[in-house]
Chains A and B, each alone.
Chain A
Amino acid sequence: MDAIQKNLLEQIAGLHEVPAGAYNIRANGASVGRNTTAHIDIVTKEDKQGIDIIIKPGTKRESVHIPVVLSQSGLTEMVYNDFHVGDDCDVTIVAGCGIHNGGDQASKHDGIHSFFIGKNSHVKYVEKHYGSGDGKGERIMNPETVIHLAENSFMEMETVQIKGVDSTKRITTADLADGAKLIVTEKLMTHGSQYAETDFTVDLNGAGSSANIISRAVAKDDSKQLFLAKINGNNKCAGHSECDAIIMDNAKISAIPEITANHLDAELIHEAAIGKIAGEQIIKLMTLGLTEAEAEAQIINGFLK
């Protein structure tokens, strides 16, 4: 891997060298490194681009890293990664995509990640998206996440896109069986003329299932964002979605939360708030000696931390 690819890898996965545990590193459309463990297998798909990650039942305290980096301008790819997590597992999965585009042609990575999570399993899924490079070519990422949660399983998903992605459409769908739980935290910042769309659909099918979708977003300059969150309560369940957004400069943000109760005991809440940085927050930090710009940066960093 070259220096640009290594930098992308550090940005999206915090990796300085090959990670411990299972991993598959994909660079410019090809696998450049893979490791499997006694409990976690990674198999290349034969009918299309992508891999199957098979985690044996009872696997505890293990991790899988599957970062993707693109540094070749104009590369377009569509990748399917399927995660088969057995029953009674406790694992961390780190994915993410970094695009460096120094050329004039658009670089695009579309990925569909499907999770089949077994009974009583706990999965922590971390996904970061990052773009760099000063070429005119756009950096485009369209991640799709499909989650199937079996009885009493629990998935925590953290998704972060802070910098450099020109266009993104992020689709997440989930269905939950009895007692299953899903927590999603999304951090999103757009600048320049970027566009980001994020679209969640959660079906709470099982008795006692619950979902919490928390989105924090900052839109700067002329960027635009659209936040959609649909939660369907089809059983006795609890669902909550929250979009909290800061708008700056000429940016535009729309938040469209939707909740549907199809069951008498479904308890669903949505919250959405969009506004500029409160003037009094800037004033308070200025009274501590920060300049206006420093105060603004501190507030945004804290908000997206």
Chain B
Amino acid sequence: MLRLQDISFIVESEHSTKKEIIKNINLTIDDHKFVAITGPNGGGKSTLAKLIMGIEKPTSGKIFFNDTDITDMSISERAKLGISFAFQQPVRFKGIKVKDLITLAAGDAISTAGACEYLSKVGLCARDYINRDVDGSLSGGELKRIEIATIIARNTPLSVFDEPEAGIDLWSFNNLIKVFEEFHNQQKSLIIISHQERILNIADEIIIIADGTVRSFGSKSEILPELLNGTGSCKFYQEVQN
């Protein structure tokens, strides 16, 4: 489904010092797999997701989607090939309504009933939302759920979610788990960046990204116990525990 080959991403800071955010990553994600990416903040997870969608371009390396080299493709081209991307912080628009955004995501005109189906899956009543602008009048949690509804509407073979649980309340969180399970049951591939044990727990595979590299990659049963038992590298935490 997706193959990253020797991917590096280097940014140049103000003082012309170079920082390597992603260091020579090689990864293969198989068809129909639900893969969770986790790891410490600042480790390169979001950058990796953006490189897959084409929002950032790698400094070196190649990305293949279903054996097609997509490294030089634009965001739109990748979207058309079948990759979706849910933003960690959903974008706000003045004058674009919830229904407009879902219609654009679905790719053709949808009825109110159609929009209702997508919105109800994220726990929103379409009647209250379809005619509202996707702007600052919506709360962070509402925007996040609408963002996820646009990904459901897109219905692509691969969906990438950047911290979908951020800003979601407990009740919606249960819905969210159902959404991911449904994607998985429909044989769609999922890449989800998450810190939530309950999301990691329903994944097939878990990748730990730290310091721009793949620290571990394996089945959930291999990686999850290691994650939950480990105290990580925080020396202070280890000292406190002792």
Which A residues contact B (CB, under 8 angstroms)?
Answer: 216, 244, 278, 280-281, 283-292, 298-299, 301-305
The reply to whether A288 and B74 form a contact with Cβ atoms under 8 Å apart is no
Tell me if B11 is interfacial: C-beta within 8 Å of chain A.
no
In the complex, A276→B24 CA distance in Å? 36
- Residues of chain A within 8 A (CB-CB) of B80 are 289
Chain B residues 57-101 with CB under 8 Å of chain A are: 74-76, 79-80, 84-85, 87, 90-91, 93-97, 100-101
Tell me if B193 is interfacial: C-beta within 8 Å of chain A.
no
The reply to whether B85 and A287 form a contact with Cβ atoms under 8 Å apart is yes
The reply to whether B96 and A287 form a contact with Cβ atoms under 8 Å apart is no
The reply to whether A292 and B76 form a contact with Cβ atoms under 8 Å apart is yes
Q: Is chain B's binding surface mostly helix, strand, loop or mixed?
A: mixed
Q: Is chain A's binding surface mostly helix, strand, loop or mixed?
A: helix
Count the B residues whose beta carbon is within 8 Å of the partner chain — how many? 24
- Residues of chain B within 8 A (CB-CB) of A280 are 87, 91
The reply to whether A288 and B150 form a contact with Cβ atoms under 8 Å apart is yes
A-B contact pairs, 14 of them (CB 8 A): A216-B95, A280-B87, A284-B87, A284-B91, A286-B74, A288-B104, A289-B76, A289-B79, A298-B96, A298-B104, A301-B95, A302-B96, A303-B94, A305-B95
Tell me if B55 is interfacial: C-beta within 8 Å of chain A.
yes
The reply to whether B75 and A286 form a contact with Cβ atoms under 8 Å apart is yes
4 extra A-B contacts, CB within 8 A, seeds A283-B75, A288-B150, A302-B97: A284-B91, A285-B104, A287-B75, A288-B105
| Distance between B151 CB and nearest chain A CB, rounded to angstroms | 9
The reply to whether B79 and A286 form a contact with Cβ atoms under 8 Å apart is yes
- Residues of chain A within 8 A (CB-CB) of B97 are 302
CB closest residue in chain A, given B100 = A302
Which B residues contact A (CB, under 8 angstroms)?
Answer: 53, 55, 74-76, 79-80, 84-85, 87, 90-91, 93-97, 100-101, 104-105, 107, 150, 154
In the complex, A299→B94 CA distance in Å? 8
The reply to whether B91 and A278 form a contact with Cβ atoms under 8 Å apart is yes
| Distance between A244 CB and nearest chain B CB, rounded to angstroms | 7
The reply to whether A287 and B95 form a contact with Cβ atoms under 8 Å apart is no
| Distance between B158 CB and nearest chain A CB, rounded to angstroms | 12
In the complex, A291→B105 CA distance in Å? 13
- Residues of chain B within 8 A (CB-CB) of A287 are 53, 55, 75, 79, 84-85
Among B53, B80, B84, B104, the most chain A Cβ lie within 10 Å of the Cβ of B104
- Among A289, A290, A302, the residue within 8 A (CB) of B95 is A302
- Residues of chain B within 8 A (CB-CB) of A298 are 96, 100, 104
In the complex, A302→B79 CA distance in Å? 22
CB closest residue in chain B, given A304 = B95
- Residues of chain B within 8 A (CB-CB) of A284 are 87, 90-91
In the complex, A284→B100 CA distance in Å? 13
CB closest residue in chain A, given B86 = A287
- Residues of chain B within 8 A (CB-CB) of A289 are 76, 79-80, 104, 107, 154
In the complex, A244→B85 CA distance in Å? 29
- Residues of chain A within 8 A (CB-CB) of B90 are 284
- Residues of chain A within 8 A (CB-CB) of B79 are 286-289
- Residues of chain B within 8 A (CB-CB) of A216 are 94-95
In the complex, A280→B162 CA distance in Å? 15
